[in-house]
Amino acid sequence: MIEFHLDARSGVAPYMQLIQQVRHAMRLGLLREGDKLPTVKDVVATIAINPNTVLKAYRELEYEGLVQPRPGLGTFVTRTLGGESELAAHEPLRRDLDGWLAKARDAGLDDESIEALFVSAFRQFSQERAGRRG
């Protein structure tokens, strides 16, 4: 059974942190198809957050097709995000990224600038795609 934690200073909304932790656990293989997530009651008894925060995270995960509630039984993982094999499938992308990072460093960008450049491009990319879908 996985356990959640909350980083009060991270600037990421609590419900989003829970979602990221579930996805991360799935990628690492700590959560596999059929595994049960902790109950809302267990989560809040461990990390003292509002129960609605947990409900919101679990609903979002259900919407993404990663988990499924079974009334009276709990919330269960419906997929496996295979850790090693899934990352391995994206090896070419990873190599492209490493190349880009090397170029950015050669151009004189420090860590913060590289991160800012990536985040800015990524956000714009996401918004444009969302706009096209919508």
Partner 1 sequence: MSSAVVTEGLTKRYGRRTALSDCTLDVPAGHVVGLVGPNGAGKSTLLQMICGLLQPTAGRLTVLGGEPISGSPRLGFVAQDTPVYAGLTVEDHLRLGAHLNPSWDDQLAHDRTERLDLDPGQKAGKLSGGQRAQLALTLAVAKRPDLLLLDEPVAALDPLARREFLQGLMEYVAESGTSVVMSSHLVADLERVCDYLIVLVKSRVRVTGEVEELLASHHRITGGRIDPAALGPGREVIVARHTDVQSTLVVRSTAPIEDPAFTVDGIDLEDLVLAYMTEAGPSGRDRVLEKQR
Report the residue number, 5 or 108, with the smaller CB distance to partner 1: 5
Distance separating alpha carbons of residues 86 and 82, to the nearest angstrom: 5
Side chain identity at residue 54, one-letter code: V
What is the token pair recorded at 109?
A: 């960008």
Q: Cβ 78 to partner 1, closest distance in Å? A: 23
Q: Cβ 42 to partner 1, closest distance in Å? A: 8
Distance separating alpha carbons of residues 112 and 12, to the nearest angstrom: 18
Q: Which of 114, 112, 90 is nearest to 102 (CA)?
A: 114
The phi, psi pair for 23, rounded to 5°, reads -60, -40
Report the residue number, 29 or 69, with the smaller CB distance to partner 1: 69
Q: Cβ 83 to partner 1, closest distance in Å? A: 30
In the block, tokens 């444009």 appear at 128
Report the residue number, 15 or 22, with the smaller CB distance to partner 1: 15
Give me the count of residues in the chain.
134
Report the residue number, 41 or 95, with the smaller CB distance to partner 1: 41
Report the residue number, 21 or 53, with the smaller CB distance to partner 1: 53
Given a contact cutoff of 8 angstroms between Cβ atoms, the answer to whether 82 and 29 are in contact is yes
Q: Cβ 43 to partner 1, closest distance in Å? A: 8
Q: Cβ 29 to partner 1, closest distance in Å? A: 29
Residues within the interface to partner 1 (CB under 8 A): 6, 8, 11, 14, 40-41, 44-54
